[in-house]
A and B are shown apart, each in its own frame.
Chain A
């Protein structure tokens, strides 16, 4: 595990038969018939203590939010639930859970016990129709502040099981972004829901456009240190240590790792050139290849998930539009032909779609759109107040993070990939340029 904040002892007690249909992963990630899920509040295992009450509240809120945001389930309101508390499988009477208005396919319940020294959670997922157990897990950690982490892990397990493996769940993923601190902008990482934010850089410069390595071990971003007259491309290891990739000029922007982690693509400028081009290089910054070579602005590159193509922004046609080129520089084609200003393309994990921001002609704000690569059809995902920029896909391709100004300042939002379920995850200062990590935990 690349992110050893928590060591979990998970004990899979038994598995039931899966009856849930796997929904198609499409831009509008709604299965024809949604899986109905109830997630009851976890209760104290034995005696209720203030510690346990606090931990239970956090666990229940986080688990509910994770399952709701996963976009896999229809979840009837807790106010409809039968009143009987479910502590263990022995407590469950399945009949009222199958009756209207609850009428769910699956039922989540469990118990927990917290002390200063740690927390123990027993968590269950049952198939209501077959009355069979799908998941039974016991989590034990030595720090009760990690109860959030346990809730995320269990939510991911539920999603993984009930989606028949089409998603590993995004509840344990993280989002990197750039945050204004005084005169500087530092790179931060937070849980996908905005909690637990922590700083990655503290160099007092401007640090922007973070991108994750596929193993989540490193972040690539650009930095200009105070008093320096060049942008640098940094690759920062999250366990410590960094390297600065050599660049011939003062301009470098928008780094993005290839899916095998061996290459990086970025916007840069060669000596003697007067315009930014797209370059691919190895992760030491060597073996540069110019993929775009044009007297126009070429920036904001993103790899296709196979690393065979790169999408980027070029204004060679007059205004910045989305273009695609093979990773050897051949087969250049324009993907978006709507005019206006496009920026920040990001290729979906299944390779079918590219999300980007678009300022329509004569419009003021940007909105997030996706273009289907094969058909070049475009879909609008956001609307309403403020400018929405820098979209980035979640690793399961069912969600998108972006920065929006609807509150007056740039803040980070997450939403379903169809534009629904919008959620603001930062509130203070100015936060921009979000990048969603890959999966952290093995299913």
Chain B
């Protein structure tokens, strides 16, 4: 479902969404973690091409808390080349890698022989951190995504808390980035322009923040990653008293929870 929707939008989006979607694991590639440099393949060797190759892949531990590491190990015989998906690529016939996947993932290793291929899979289950702690690389990652304008604010019409089509498009992209840093929490601040009264605006800002939050939940961001908070008209971004500033101030704005 998510994958189909994403393909409808564009291919890049789809490729990144499959990373967070266990139902689309066949073509898993990573946007966040560039593929490891290719390791020279095993190559053809006489006497290995007649029978089917063997491959055995395992992860230890197979269940990790988010942000922790697991070691992926594999051994093979009789293969011309070994490919492991999940953004790993071609590897040597025997080896291991230390990984820290953000979400639960199944790694599949394919041993390619002359006549046939053999596959072996192992599942790494990623669970929430028991102490609820945040992984600092997630915090920095989300911070950077906001600073670099990858996570962007959405803007509202006067006295309204409805999302525009443009706002929904921005939030869909924001969702992708926020989900990449699964232990970080994004605070969605609802802001209003100075027109209108303080009490009403504090309530209106709450609705704006909630509109953005609810949409992010709809497109798959984990509820634990989002907090809504209204500032009403207390923290304007632009100070002039005309529409050019007001439109800047009617927004749902993203900051990282520290």
Contact = CB atoms under 8 A, between A and B. Distances in A.
Contacts of A433: 198
Interface residues of B, number: 23
Given A230-B229, A269-B206, A274-B207, A253 B234 contact: no
Contacts of B206: 250-251, 269, 276
Interface in A315-371: 315, 319-320, 341, 343-344, 357, 359, 364, 366
A85 to B, nearest CB: 50
Interface in B193-211: 195-200, 202-204, 206-207, 210-211
A344 to B, nearest CB: 6
A300 B199 contact: yes
A206 B200 contact: no
A297 B227 CA distance: 19
Given A227-B258, A251-B206, A276-B206, A267 B227 contact: no
A60 interface: no
B230 interface: yes
A248 B249 CA distance: 27
B198 A299 contact: no
A341 B227 CA distance: 29
A259 B258 CA distance: 41
A299 B203 CA distance: 7
B199 A253 contact: yes
B200 A343 contact: yes
B203 A267 contact: yes
Contacts of A250: 206, 227-230
B123 to A, nearest CB: 33
Given A229-B229, A231-B229, A343-B197, 20 more contacts: A231-B230, A250-B228, A251-B206, A251-B229, A253-B199, A254-B199, A267-B199, A275-B210, A297-B204, A299-B200, A299-B203, A300-B199, A313-B199, A315-B200, A320-B200, A343-B199, A344-B197, A344-B199, A389-B198, A432-B198
Interface of A: 185, 206, 208-209, 227, 229-231, 250-251, 253-254, 267, 269, 274-276, 297-300, 313, 315, 319-320, 341, 343-344, 357, 359, 364, 366, 389-390, 432-433
Interface of B: 159, 187, 195-200, 202-204, 206-207, 210-211, 214, 227-230, 234, 257-258
